[in-house]
Every structure is written in C-alpha cells, then in structure tokens.
A and B are shown apart, each in its own frame.
Chain A
Amino acid sequence: MQIALFTEQILNGLQLGVMLFLMAAGLTLIFGVMGLINLAHGSLYMVGAFACAAVAAATGSFWLGLVASLAAAAAAGAIVEILVIRRLYEREHLDQVLATFALILVFSEGTRWLFGSFPLYLDIPVLLQGTVPLPGGSRYQLYRLAIIGVGIAVAVGLFLLISRTRLGMRIRAGESDREMIGALGVDIRTLYTVVFALGAALAGLAGAMVGALQSVQVGMGEPVLILAFVVIVIGGIGSIKGALVGALLVGLVDTMGRFLLPQVFGIFMDPSQAGLVGGALASMLIYIVMAVILAVRPQGLFPAMKG
C-alpha cells in the first residue's frame, strides 16, 4: 500500500472530521446550553448550501456565496428559534424530537418548492482549485486542504470564544446552571437565540463548503446529521472538546474503514466478496464503535452534562 494513497485517505478522514465538527459543535452547544435536541440541524446545513449555490450562481462569486450561506443559515436559525424552538425548552425530549422532525419536513419541502427537485451545482472557487503535492508522489485537492484549515480555524475560534469572551462566559455559565444565570440577570432569551444562530451558522458553513464537493440537494444534511449525533454521543453531549475528538475519531474511522476493510478482507476472500463484506462492515463500523464506547462509558468520552 503506497504512502500516497494512505496519506490521501488520512486527509480525507480529517476533512470529514472537520466538517462533522462544525455540525457537532453547534448541536452540542445547543444541547449544552438550552437542553434541546435539534433534529433540524441538518436542514440548516442544507440551507447554507443552497444559499451559497444560489448566490454564487447569481453573482459568479463563491465568496459572496459563502457569506450568504453564513447569513442565511444564521437568519434561518434565529427565525426558527424565535418562532418555534423557544417554546420547546421546557418540554420533554419527545416533544422536541417531534417538533424538530416536523421542521425537517417543512424545510425540505419548502426548499423543494423554491428550488425544484433537481440538485444545484456549486463550483470550487478559482483561488482554491488545483492540487497540491503530497509526500509519496500523488496530489491532493487544494480545496479539501482549505476545508481542513477552515475547520481548525473554527475550532480555535470557538475555543477562544468560549473561554475568552463574555458571550463565552455566559455560555459556560448557562451550561452548568440554567436557572442561575437567569437569576443573575443575563438576558436568557437573547443568549439562546444567539447560541442557536451560531450553531446554525456553523452548520450552514459546513453545508456550503461541502456543496462544492458534492452536489447541493434536498436531504443532503440528513446523513451528516446522523453522523453528527454519533459524534456528540461518543464525545459527550455538551462538550466542545468532546465534539472535536469525536468528530476526528468518526471522520478517520469511517474513511479509513471504508478504505482498509475491503483490502483486509481481500486477503482471504475474492475481491468482489471482499468489497461487499468490507463495504458493509465499513458502513456499520462507526455505529459499532459508538456502541462499544457507550457500553463502557454511557456518558461518552468527555461528559460535560448531567443528563
């Protein structure tokens, strides 16, 4: 097995991980601060992708599209929070699940209504086209490296936000004692809207960036959402650090699994069977890992929350 191929897969794993982190960070923040489970997060990812594609197509600039995706996702998040989500904070998880599930339907069909059923296409910006040489001789897409870079930047930025700013302080306080910060005079309503919109913006950013790699279509957020849930369950719900570790773990395990497992099985099976069994196991692998981790630590790796 060549170094080049291996390196490429590792990088792919990192890219997937970083993208999952963007989704998971928002999800885990929202749950940590507001105690809300948000199934509609995948829809916000989709909104970001559609906004980027639409604006990029209209203006010819990917970068304007990117700005639009952040704005649109944050705005969608804020609107949804004010209209629907804020009525759910005191409700049981069952109601939250159902309401946000309903939101998925609304977002999906609404998007289909606006944009039709055919996928949109988003081009990689000129600046980031092309490839970069890797050790081992092959080349890797510059754009994918850029995504990894953005992810790292966001992780650093979030860390700084949470630990160094007043907003971050309120978020941390909100995570440990919701009732207390209200009593201390922090404007909870605005805080919650801001946190929700922040999470939405992160999701929208992820959607926009990935939209240039795959196509932009309704429902694109759902597989990502499920993986993001696996990430925060593994990492520990409410913990940003857990989201990062979990995301990288999931991204790498999933990518390397799909790459390596068919090869491993190919050692003692014929290629087509190996591909089949290996592929099947690879799809299930991340869930198996999650089950094992939860069997040993039911609260995830870095539990920040009590329940």
Chain B
Amino acid sequence: MADIVLDIRGLNKSFGALKATENISLDLRPGEIHALIGPNGAGKSTLIHQIAGTLKPDSGDISFLGQPVGHLGVAARARLGLGRSFQVSSLAPEFSALRNVMLAVQSRQSSSFRFFRPVKKDPTLVDPAMAALERVGLAGRAGVAAAELSHGERRQLEIAIALALGSRAFLLDEPMAGMGPEGSRQLTEFLDGLRSEAPILLVEHDMDAVFALADRISVLVYGRIIASGTVEEIRNDPEVRRAYLGDSE
C-alpha cells in the first residue's frame, strides 16, 4: 500500500474577485513525477505558494506525509521535508554555491544556534554539500558567488540545495525555464533519476520534458483542474486540447 506523500484537498484562494485557486484537489505518490501544466495565469504559482506555505489558502487541507501542515510556516514545512525550487532563482547572492548548499545541510543536520565552530572548514557541512553539487554537476563552480553563476547554473544550484535538504518531496516551479536544449536534456535526465528518491510535483511549460517525465499530469486552467491522468489520457482529452494544447501539436 503506497502512502500518499502530499495530499491536497479542496484548496481555495481568492484575491478580491479573482478566484486564483478553485476547489483544487490533487496528490503526490511515492516514486512518481506529477506534472502540473496550464496556460499562463492559470494559477500554478499561486498553488505552489500555498503548498510551500508562503500563501495561506482561504480554505482546504494540505497534508504532507500524513500530517496536516496547513498551519505551519515555510520553514517548518521545509524541515518536515518539503523541498522547493523557485520560478525565479532565490539564492543568497553573496555566498558561494557551496555555502548556499551548506546552509541547507546545516538546517538538515541540526540547530542553527551554534556559535562557535567555524563552518567554512567543517567537513560535516562541506562534504555533504559538495556531494550534492556533484550530483547536479556544479562541483567545479562550488566557490563561485551565486550572483555570478549563469542562469542555468543557478537552477542547478537550487536543485542541489533541495537535494542537500534531504527532502521527502520536491515542488519544482518551472526548473527548465530559460535553459537551452542541452541544459534541459540534462535536467530531464537528472529528474528522471531523482523520482525514486522523492516524488516530484513539477510545474512546467516545456512540453517535451513533461511528456518525457510525467507519470501523471494535471491540467490547471483559470484556477481549476480540468483534467488529470496519464500522459496518454491527457494528450487525448478534448477539453485539454481545446483549452491548452491547441489542435496543432
């Protein structure tokens, strides 16, 4: 019996008259990549914000690993294992890539209220951080300040941070955005291998990646999920074709 990792029931969020999230229910199961697609303005980012904890939904339940997390803040949810990458890379710009990842390692391992042991040479922090950087292929740029990394490298760094956190599930918000074809291919391969460690809720526009990776797809239009199913089912769903894919493919 597979336990549901992330369970979202009946989520609603309005901004004034605009219903950004309307009665959304979806779930994330172990070992899967569940892609979330939809046209711009459909409310995908708003949904991710609510799951991660930066926005409070008007109503609905969110459970992670069987625990309700609706009342918890961002940091608390992250500590429980909910990893997240950002649509616009959100890093500590002055810190090197390595120090950025070390921060995640530090959070995972223990309290941050430690005042005396210097971090820069601390192998308990450095080693896991370097390992994460190697997994995403960024080990050679470990000492470079995050602000000086290329766009694609920042994406990789975000993933490395999520890895180092030892997340039990990943919320990835358009990780392919702005990456060239080679970068996208590498990232697709990487995510493919990642799913066995932790399931991924993937918001993406890059259809090639979505169709290559997704076990399930949910389609979001105007705040509502209009269809949910396997790649084949979605490809052939007339409503989806009309609303999103268009008839030319």
- Please tell me whether chains A and B touch each other in their complex, using a CB distance cut-off of 8 A: no
B residues in contact (CB < 8 Å) with A: none
A residues in contact (CB < 8 Å) with B: none
